[in-house]
Amino acid sequence: MAGGPTTPELVAAVTAAGALGSFGFAYSSAAQISSVCGEFRDLCATRGLQSDCGWNANFFVFPDVAEPEASFIDDAVKNLQPMAKRVEIDAEVLTHATQLPALTDQVNAALVYQPSLVSFHLGIPAESIVDLVRNAGACIAMSATSRAEALAVQAAGADFIVAQGYEAGGHRGIFDPMADDEMLVTLDLVKAISESCTIPVIAAGGIMNGSDIAMALDNGADAVQLGSAFLTVDECGSSATYRAVIKSMGERKTQITSGFSGRPARGIRNLFIESIGPEILPFPWQNSLTGAMRKAAGSKGDFELMSLWAGAEYQKARSCTAAQLLKELLEELREEMEKH
Ligand SMILES: Cc1cc2nc3c(=O)[nH]c(=O)nc-3n(C[C@H](O)[C@H](O)[C@H](O)COP(=O)(O)O)c2cc1C
């Protein structure tokens, strides 16, 4: 979960509990990745864990996008202006849109610290990057939101497919955000992919308890991936405001929007999602454009303008330690399996 939730403490706690902790490095520079991985390695050492004992480095893959025309940027700035005003951000700040760090540099920085799994979201990386990871001895996962994407992931040489259903929180892994979205929910997607592909499938989207895990496994998943369930655990880097919304505003539904980043992503409905007009720059330009506003909203505790990424079942998130959550999930899964 890029953008703050995945702290070294969270990844270490998940790994220590026997699951596979993941770092979302999509927005991190090589230097930031080195620093976070170094912190993680030290944390693992103090807990008697090897930092190569099983952790995942995750990255975004997206096509290079030329800088949008100045007039398009102007329109997108105007689109944002009323909301930016609410948190006292001016147009000058809004125009500093930038690209994200180069994927090869990001991956190289993480590989120094020996992740056991490197995963890619939003698309298939270049063959040279797949080779880089393979030569470093790590396994490779790529996410897919349709059968066609899953077949492409398998053909690209991945070891695992992350089947990301429509309920999933955060960025939707669809390769081409302009293409028709099949909107398959997790169980249907897992079934379709496991029937068509030979490599293992990891189910993601709306999985919040042991019964959800059992259902995913019953429908052909080999493993599961949980995001939103970890947003309220003690070690997560989510802000107090974000947690408070998750815990107290359960009547709010989630929605997919491209308004925050330029790519479709699921978050809790708020004023921003309801108000943003169609003048949206492509990813990552829009992400950068809205960054200052989101940061200001975050520091003011104004959740109406924050990107509150969450899956459709976010209301079921628990407040406890990561180890306690994993223990409970395992107990619930065992109970479900005994019923069969
Ligand atoms: C806050 C948040 C951030 C996320 N960031 C990433 C990311 O950086 N990379 C990625 O592959 N998936 C990301 N996801 C999606 C998750 O990998 C996963 O597909 C999703 O959380 C599963 O649905 P759930 O949230 O209902 O458990 C994110 C999800 C959330 C909730």
Secondary structure letter of residue 315 according to DSSP: G
CA of 91 to the centre of ligand 1 (A): 31
CA of 1 to the centre of ligand 1 (A): 5
Type of residue numbered 104: T
- What's the topology of domain 8-339? TIM Barrel (3.20.20)
Count of beta carbons in the 10 Å neighbourhood of residue 5: 21
CA of 317 to the centre of ligand 1 (A): 14
Q: What is the pLDDT of residue 52?
A: 59
Secondary structure letter of residue 306 according to DSSP: S
Report the nearest-CA residue for atom 21 of ligand 1: 227
Domain extent listing, the chain: 8-339
Q: What is the pLDDT of residue 51?
A: 56
Which ligand 1 atom is nearest residue 311's CA? 26
Which ligand 1 atom is nearest residue 309's CA? 1
Report the nearest-CA residue for atom 17 of ligand 1: 227
| Pocket of ligand 1, beta carbon within 6 A | 1-2, 5, 24, 26, 58, 121, 143, 164, 167-171, 204-207, 225-229, 309-311, 313
Strands 160-164 and 201-204: parallel
Whether the CB-CB separation of 147 and 192 falls below 8 Å is answered with: yes
* Calpha distance 250→247 (Å, rounded): 7
Count of beta carbons in the 10 Å neighbourhood of residue 53: 14
Q: Which two tokens stand for residue 127?
A: 């063959």
CA of 279 to the centre of ligand 1 (A): 25
Whether the CB-CB separation of 3 and 27 falls below 8 Å is answered with: yes
Strand partners, 134: none
Those residues whose C-beta lies under 8 Å from the C-beta of residue 37, and which sit 6 or more positions away, are 23, 51, 109, 110, 112, 113
- Express each pLDDT in 40-64 by its tens digit: 999 998 888 765 578 999 999 998 8
Q: DSSP characters for 141-195?
A: EEEESSHHHHHHHHHTT-SEEEEE-TT--EE---S-TTSPP----HHHHHHHHHH
* Calpha distance 34→2 (Å, rounded): 15
pTM: 0.97
Which ligand 1 atom is nearest residue 143's CA? 11
CA of 92 to the centre of ligand 1 (A): 31
CA of 24 to the centre of ligand 1 (A): 9
The residue count for the chain? 340
CA of 98 to the centre of ligand 1 (A): 23
Q: Which two tokens stand for residue 193?
A: 């992919």
Tell me the pLDDT of the chain (340 aa) as tens digits: 999 999 999 999 999 999 999 999 999 999 999 999 999 999 998 888 765 578 999 999 998 888 899 999 999 999 999 999 999 988 777 777 677 899 999 999 999 999 999 999 999 999 999 999 999 999 999 999 999 999 999 999 999 999 999 999 999 999 999 999 999 999 999 999 999 999 999 999 999 999 999 999 999 999 999 999 999 999 999 999 999 999 998 899 999 999 999 999 999 999 999 999 999 999 999 999 999 999 999 999 999 999 999 999 999 999 999 999 999 999 999 999 998 7
Between the two ends of the chain, the Cα-to-Cα distance in Å is 33
* Calpha distance 290→79 (Å, rounded): 11
Whether the CB-CB separation of 126 and 108 falls below 8 Å is answered with: no
